[in-house]
Chains A and B, each alone.
Chain A
């Protein structure tokens, strides 16, 4: 019985949040308690389902199910080890963000719309995780673009609408490029299946038609680069920070930006194969592109005066570590890229949660206004500090594991200059995160200013009611998770262990 149901796991995982979205849409706006129950039940059910099948998937038995969209064109949902890593990240953070959002939006008049599209956003993300071929990936990738639009424009202000429109322009254009590349690849190779290490038919085609393969690869990577925010395709990301804090958190940590990065992982590692991409001469281009983005994002973050803006540019930089890991012919580098998929997610979401807390509780939006908040909001400030140290890559936090692995990979792949880029980036990370941390805990000794800020903050806190505990608890828990993930990275079921198994299983 249970064995017969096993192939349906991916569909079920996708369906849980889709059903939740429909239920929430049908419920009346004021049915808050029921909506909260539906939200949490669905988030817990999905996480539970995924955790239950982890051992089976990592033992190499992949549940898969599919059907024909058109004659000869298959939609395939399949859970391999890499899918599980991404889907688990999505489910954990969905649960955390849902709780946070319930607190954040306590008296928001459009909660029905928000939570409905929020659930659809997770549906699309999990669909992306479980896509068994590029066709399926494109279907959910485009769906993700659509369902995040109402989330980005949620506030309804002119700035929010403008940002949402910019986001849609970028994402739709990128999506069309990916679509075109997918259509051409399907025509050329007859398949777009993801197989660990690359698909044979695609490799054959790449060997016989190198020029066309490069063109297809370019379409795919440029299209995916839009969501992955590779410079200069990142323009939408800093604008999109006008979205409500939980949306920014999810966008930066797991949904949109990650979908682009995950797509690059799939295309490079599981469709063409790293060696094939390297033979086509595209891999080094990608490597340089990732390095440029890493440095550019950090430099812009350094100049930002607004906390959310600084975090947004930090995302531009940090997400490119994933691409960086894919862009070197080295198993260790691949592991570093994959583990960062998880680590960046749990670290970045904490930072955005904190930014939302600072803004809602004390009206602190600019970095200058954070001064001394460590005393007033110790838990939030502590979580922020953990997140910031994680991003910088201090041991034993999660970010250190990533950077260490990537640096080793760079040496293995005979690209020692990449280590220099990593070191420079870490220095820049310090440059833009440490001042924030220092300001939080050790404010400049100008008491009058701090008093004024506190008064302003109190006014904001009264104007917009939030449920502080609901926001604080997930923030602190995820921050702890990022410590645990780093400290126990040596264990088999840590993110690092999982990434190593994924790569080992692929025989790379």
Chain B
């Protein structure tokens, strides 16, 4: 197998895995899923190694080069996210198997989700990105709906949002196709630049659609319900991975296809800042842990959109690059730490029947490793050392400082303080020993803590050095 086939393999193999998880008997599904996702993790790690050492890997499906054929393109950015997805999905699958009691459909949906994510992250084609986003959307809605009767409403709302978002994106793709006559991103980018058409129209349409899917403030209304109602195997995937897919597509449009646009960039930046503030304030007043964590996602998604005001037309390309590197690091940090936090929160809720913040005292005494996982995840989410979240925040502050964008620095600082306080409430609560009631603390076997703790530790260890991550993310990353 030549290395360029790794990309297509990482898109197609999860589909095969999904089918396998659907046809094998229910009792064999967890094992099938674990083996499959384990192999996918190895594959993603190999791809990361190959891309780091040998550069971008492009494979033209069926041997037809664009514009006739479709390119599967594994650049640094896509590879980082594929690796993140493989790690998180594997950890979540392990956790689902360890906890047990899952819906029989969850395994197939997880694999389907990974296939969709792979298609979005590893593509050089606009239509493929659209199809990938649809697969991600379907799998995600399915995962939310597994949450039972309570989740059906949230799932339905999520479905409408996902379809609406895709619609906006599709119109944008149509406009680009109409002007350039191609769906290949690289080619469309060249022709778009040559045509001299303004980026504003397709970019703003796509931004609306994708922001809806990302739950960017003020289009975030659907997220807290969906993420909090979803079953324990789903919410970490939704928060850590699903909201990142549309964001990566928007990054690609912005930098590789239409080029930047001043008004869109400013609006996205302002909304990102507002999300950091509003999501943080909402998280502060939530009474249930899962909802605190869900609103924290609204806030953290806001940080990602701060990359756009750093990459406005006529700006310094090095600066734009620094901004992208910063938000990619933050996205990875959020992916690992948020998955850990959601797994912990879901487990607490499943074990004790409630995730009310006031019932947390005693957690550290009864389940110390779980408390440790929550504490480490918090450190990374707030962006304190030693964690990859700190390194992401450092880069964002540094890029903002280099741009003299003082308002961005203020947003990052205030956002950090807010996150410290909304996460401190549950974590400090868990450290307390004055237990409010005699609710039982059922035993917590190690295998049920392994995934959240592993992910949280990974976020910490990556904070010792993220050089390789940033260098990988920037492989083949052309900046307009």
Binding site for B on A (CB under 8 A): 25, 67-71, 73, 75, 109-110, 113, 138-140, 142-143, 145-146, 149-150, 153, 156, 161, 164-165, 168, 172-173, 175-176, 179-180, 183-184, 186-187
Binding site for A on B (CB under 8 A): 364-365, 368, 372, 379, 384-386, 390-391, 394-395, 397-398, 401-402, 409, 413, 416-417, 420, 424, 428, 431-434, 463-467, 470-471
A180-B364 in contact given A69-B467, A142-B385, A161-B432 (Cβ < 8 Å): no
Instruction: Find out whether the CB atom of B401 lies under 8 angstroms from the CB atom of A156.
Output: no
Q: How far is the CA of A147 from the CA of B386 in the complex (A)?
A: 12
* Contacting residues, chain A, for B395 (C-beta < 8 A): 70
Q: Give the top 7 A-B pairs by smallest Cβ distance, nearest first.
A: A139-B385, A183-B397, A68-B467, A156-B433, A187-B401, A176-B413, A142-B385
Instruction: Find out whether the CB atom of B470 lies under 8 angstroms from the CB atom of A168.
Output: no
Q: How far is the CA of A67 from the CA of B465 in the complex (A)?
A: 8
Q: How far is the CA of A172 from the CA of B395 in the complex (A)?
A: 19
B466 → chain A, closest Cβ, in Å? Answer: 6
A183-B394 in contact given A69-B467, A70-B470, A156-B432 (Cβ < 8 Å): yes
Residue of B nearest to A110 (CB): B433
* Contacting residues, chain A, for B433 (C-beta < 8 A): 109-110, 156
Chain A: interface secondary structure? helix
Q: How far is the CA of A146 from the CA of B397 in the complex (A)?
A: 21
Chain B: interface secondary structure? helix
Q: How far is the CA of A149 from the CA of B466 in the complex (A)?
A: 27
Instruction: Find out whether the CB atom of A146 lies under 8 angstroms from the CB atom of B384.
Output: yes
A303 → chain B, closest Cβ, in Å? Answer: 32
Q: How far is the CA of A439 from the CA of B352 in the complex (A)?
A: 55
Of the candidates A70, A143, A164, A165, the one whose C-beta lies within 8 Å of that of B394 is A70
Instruction: Find out whether the CB atom of B386 lies under 8 angstroms from the CB atom of A139.
Output: yes
Q: How far is the CA of A75 from the CA of B391 in the complex (A)?
A: 12
Instruction: Find out whether the CB atom of B401 lies under 8 angstroms from the CB atom of A70.
Output: no
A187-B402 in contact given A153-B431, A176-B416 (Cβ < 8 Å): yes
A27 → chain B, closest Cβ, in Å? Answer: 11
* Contacting residues, chain B, for A69 (C-beta < 8 A): 391, 394, 463-467
- What are 7 A-B interface contacts by the 8 Å CB criterion? A73-B394, A109-B433, A142-B385, A143-B385, A145-B384, A168-B424, A183-B398
Residue of A nearest to B397 (CB): A183
Q: How far is the CA of A145 from the CA of B432 in the complex (A)?
A: 18
A285 → chain B, closest Cβ, in Å? Answer: 23
* Contacting residues, chain B, for A172 (C-beta < 8 A): 416-417, 420
* Contacting residues, chain B, for A25 (C-beta < 8 A): 368, 372
* Contacting residues, chain A, for B464 (C-beta < 8 A): 69
B461 → chain A, closest Cβ, in Å? Answer: 12
* Contacting residues, chain B, for A73 (C-beta < 8 A): 394
B420 → chain A, closest Cβ, in Å? Answer: 5
Q: How far is the CA of A165 from the CA of B424 in the complex (A)?
A: 9
Instruction: Find out whether the CB atom of B417 lies under 8 angstroms from the CB atom of A176.
Output: yes
Q: How far is the CA of A70 from the CA of B433 in the complex (A)?
A: 39
A150-B431 in contact given A176-B417, A179-B397, A183-B398 (Cβ < 8 Å): yes
A29 → chain B, closest Cβ, in Å? Answer: 9
